[in-house]
Structure 1
Amino acid sequence: MRVLITGITGPVGSFLADYLLTLDGLELFGFKRWRSDPRPIEHLYGRVTMLEGDIEDPFSIGQAIEQVRPERIFHLAAQSYPSESWAAPIATMRVNVEGTLNLLEAVRRHCPQARVHIAGTSAEYGWVEPADVPIRETHPLRPLSPYGVSKVAAELSGLQYHASYGLHVVVTRSFNHVGPRQGDRCSIQTFCRQMALIEAGRQEPVLHVGNLEARRDFTHTADVARALWLLLEHGTPGEVYNLCSGEATRIGDIVELVRQQGRVPVEVRVDPARLRPADEPILAGDNSKLRQATGWEPRIGMAQIVAELLDYWRARVV
C-alpha cells in the first residue's frame, strides 16, 4: 500500500512516518517544501521516498499525486501557528485553503479511490463557554483567529469533495499536540527551551510566559500518529473527529511542572508580548467518537511530555 504524507517535516508528520514504518506492507512517501528544515526527518532518509514541491502550487502537488498514486494520504502541510496567522492572514489562507484544494483536485483527477485525511484544529471552535466543555464535534464553529478561519474553510472543502465527488475524506479537529521536533513556538516548547537555556547559563533565571490561566487539551505526537492511522482505516468518510486527550491542563500548571523538573530555580514572569489579541479560556475535547470508531486511547501524560521536551532541548542548547 502506497502512503503519502504532506508536511512530513512537521512534528506530527515525522512521528506519523515513524509509526507507519513499524507496519508491514506500506511504501511511504513524503511531500515537503525544498526550504523546510530537514533535521526532523534526517532519520527517515533511505526509508521514505521524499518528494519536493509546494502545496500552494497546483502543478507540483498534482505531479506528486500523479507520480505516486497513493492509496492513503495524510494532509498535514499547513501554516499551523495561530499567532503567525495574525501577522500573515492572507498567506495563512493560501497555504491552508488553496493548498487543501490543490491536493483534493489532484486526488480527484489521479487517484479518486484514495483515502484522504485532512488535519483540522480545535481553533475552529473558537470561544467556548465552560458549560460546553468537553467540546463535541457538533459544537458551533466560531474561530477567533485567521488560522481558525482557514482551517474551517479547509475542512469544509474536504467535506464538499466527499459530498460532490465521492472522495473518501476524513477530517480531524486536533487539539494541541506536542512532542520533540516541534520547534519552539508552542507554549510548552518555549517553557522547556527557556529552562534548558537557563540551566546552560545562557538565559537569566526567568521563565517568560503568556496567559497562565488558559486551559488546553494536549496530546503527544506519538499518540496522535497512532490515532491518524486507525482513523483513516476505520473512520467513516465524510465525518469529523476530535483528536484529543479529553483533559484540559492549565498552562500555569504546565509551567509548574517545568519548574519542578528543572535543575535550577527560576522566576516566572508574564510577558505582554506573549499575550494574544484573543485567546480562548478553555479548549478541551470530547474524544468519544474517535474512541468508538478506532479503539484508540492516549498513552502519554503531561509529566512525561515535559520530561521528554526538557531532555530534547537540553541536547540542543548546550
Structure 2
Amino acid sequence: MSVVVITGSAGLIGSEASEYYLSKGYTVIGIDNNMRKFFFGDEADTSWNRTYLEQKYPKNYIHHEVDIRNTQEVFQIFKRYQNEIVLIIHTAAQPSHDWASTDPITDFNINANGTLNLLEAFRLYSPKAVFIFTSTNKVYGDYPNQLPLKELEKRWEIDPLHPYFNGIQENMNVDQCLHSLFGVSKLSADVLVQEYGKYFKLHTYCLRGGVLSGSKQSGVAAHGFINYLMKCVMLDIPYIIYGHKGKQVRDVIHSKDVISAMDCIFRNPQKCGEVYNLGGGRHSNVSILEAIDIAQEISGQKLKYQYSPKARIGDHIWYVSSLNKFKTDYPDWDIKFDIQKIMKQIYKENKTKWKKTT
C-alpha cells in the first residue's frame, strides 16, 4: 500500500491534492480538524470537502480529526504507516495575515510548532518519503515594497528594466524587514523544512505560494481574496479595499496547477531542503481593481465596495512570482489556468451553492 499523508486535507490545496492522489489509487491519510471554522466562523467551514472525500472514496480516504500541535497523535499516525508513506503534503496552517495579530501564540504554535511535529514524525518513521510544505510569499516580509514601482491607471507595476520584472526570485532577502506575525510563523516553518532537508538529507521542499485559489476554497474577508471577492459580487456583499488605491498586484495560481507542481516534485525529487516560488507569475496576476472589473464582467453584477486608505501592515504593493527556477528543474510543468479562467470557474461552480446558503 502506498500512502499519501495530507494535512489540511479539507482545505483548498489539501482537498485538491487528496482527490488527485485518491484518483491515482493511493491511500490518503487526511489530517484536518476544521480549524478554519474556528479562525473565520461558519462561512469558512470546510467539513463539506471532508464529507465529499469520504463519500466518494470510502475505502481509500482515511480521515483523522487531529490537531497538528498534538505531538503524540501526529506521531501515532506516522508510526502506524511508517515506510508505506511515500509523500507528505503539509498544507494545514493558520493562513491569515490579519488573524495572526489577534492571537500570536496560536498562530505560531500551529504554523511553526505543528510543522516541527510533522517533520520529526517524518524523520523518525518515513524518511524515504517526500515532504512538501506550502509556504508563502509573506516570508519575504515587506521587501517587495522597496522595489522601483510605477503607478498605472489600475495597478502598480515594476520598472521593466529591473531583474525582477519577470517575477520575484528566491534570492530576495527574508531578514531585517517587517513581516507580519503570520509571515514570521510561516518563515519559521519554512526554515525548519529546509533545515530538516539539508541537515538530515531528506527530500523536503518549500513552495512559497502567491494567492492560491480555486472553486473549492471557503473564501472569507480575512483569507481567500479572489474567491471571497467573487462571492461578494454574486451575493451583493459589501467589499472593503485596504490601501494602495486598490492597485496592489497579486499573482494568482489555481489549486490544480499547485498540485501538478507538487506531483512533479514527488515523481522526481532532485534535492534536499529546496525552495521554490510558486504563483501565477506573469501568466496570471491581477490588481484588486482589475479583479473587480473581471468579477463584474463575469457575473453581470456590480460590486458594492468601500475604500479605506489605511493599508494592512506589511501588505505587498506588487508581488509577482518568478517561476524560472521551478521550470528549470521541472521543464514539463506549466501554468494551465490564468486569472480569467480561475474566476470563471469559481463563478460557475459556486453559483448555485452560494445562493442556497444565503
How does the TM-score come out when normalised to structure 1?
0.90
Q: CA deviation at 1:215?
A: 0.3
- Distance in 1 (alpha carbons) for counterparts of 2:314 and 2:35: 31
- Distance in 2 (alpha carbons) for counterparts of 1:104 and 1:124: 19
Count how many residue pairs are aligned between Structure 1 and Structure 2.
310
- Distance in 2 (alpha carbons) for counterparts of 1:44 and 1:143: 39
- Distance in 1 (alpha carbons) for counterparts of 2:130 and 2:178: 27
User: What is the RMSD of the two structures over their aligned residues, measured on CA atoms?
Assistant: 2.0
| Partner residue in 2 for 1:180 | 215
Structure 2 counterpart of 1:19, one-letter code: Y
SS in 2 for 1:169: strand
Residue identity (%): 24
Which residue of 131, 137, 144 maps to 1:116? 131
Q: CA deviation at 1:121?
A: 0.6
| Partner residue in 1 for 2:115 | 100
| Inter-CA distance 242–91: structure 2 relative to 1 (3 Å threshold) | same
Verify: 1:11 aligned to 2:43, yes or no: no
Structure 1 counterpart of 2:312, one-letter code: R
The within-5 A match list for 1:212-251 is 212-235=246-269, 236-247=271-282, 248-251=285-288
Structure 1 alignment gaps of length 5 or more: none
The within-5 A match list for 1:232-311 is 232-235=266-269, 236-247=271-282, 248-271=285-308, 275-294=311-330, 295-311=332-348
Structure 2 counterpart of 1:38, one-letter code: S
Structure 1 counterpart of 2:33, one-letter code: R
Contact map agreement 1:34 1:53 (CA 8 A) in 2: no
The within-5 A match list for 1:84-233 is 84-127=99-142, 128=144, 129=147, 130=158, 131=162, 132-133=164-165, 134-141=167-174, 142=177, 144-185=179-220, 186-198=224-236, 203=237, 207-211=239-243, 212-233=246-267
- Distance in 2 (alpha carbons) for counterparts of 1:195 and 1:244: 24
Q: CA deviation at 1:230?
A: 1.1
- Distance in 2 (alpha carbons) for counterparts of 1:251 and 1:210: 10
Q: CA deviation at 1:286?
A: 0.6
Greater CA drift, 55-64 or 240-249: 240-249
- Distance in 2 (alpha carbons) for counterparts of 1:18 and 1:308: 18
How does the TM-score come out when normalised to structure 2?
0.81
SS in 2 for 1:283: coil
- Distance in 1 (alpha carbons) for counterparts of 2:188 and 2:51: 33
Structure 2 counterpart of 1:49, one-letter code: I
| Inter-CA distance 157–266: structure 2 relative to 1 (3 Å threshold) | closer
Q: CA deviation at 1:34?
A: 6.4
- Distance in 2 (alpha carbons) for counterparts of 1:120 and 1:35: 18
Contact map agreement 2:170 2:277 (CA 8 A) in 1: yes
| Partner residue in 1 for 2:62 | 49
| Inter-CA distance 269–34: structure 2 relative to 1 (3 Å threshold) | closer
- Distance in 1 (alpha carbons) for counterparts of 2:117 and 2:262: 21
Q: CA deviation at 1:7?
A: 1.0
Q: CA deviation at 1:272?
A: 6.0
| Partner residue in 1 for 2:32 | 32
Structure 2 counterpart of 1:140, one-letter code: N
- Distance in 2 (alpha carbons) for counterparts of 1:150 and 1:232: 26
- Distance in 1 (alpha carbons) for counterparts of 2:344 and 2:18: 23
- Distance in 1 (alpha carbons) for counterparts of 2:197 and 2:250: 31
Contact map agreement 1:219 1:300 (CA 8 A) in 2: yes
Q: CA deviation at 1:239?
A: 1.0
Q: CA deviation at 1:35?
A: 6.1
Q: CA deviation at 1:164?
A: 2.4
Q: CA deviation at 1:143?
A: 5.2
- Distance in 1 (alpha carbons) for counterparts of 2:30 and 2:218: 19
| Inter-CA distance 4–266: structure 2 relative to 1 (3 Å threshold) | closer
| Inter-CA distance 266–38: structure 2 relative to 1 (3 Å threshold) | closer
Q: CA deviation at 1:157?
A: 0.8
Q: CA deviation at 1:105?
A: 1.2
- Distance in 2 (alpha carbons) for counterparts of 1:265 and 1:173: 33
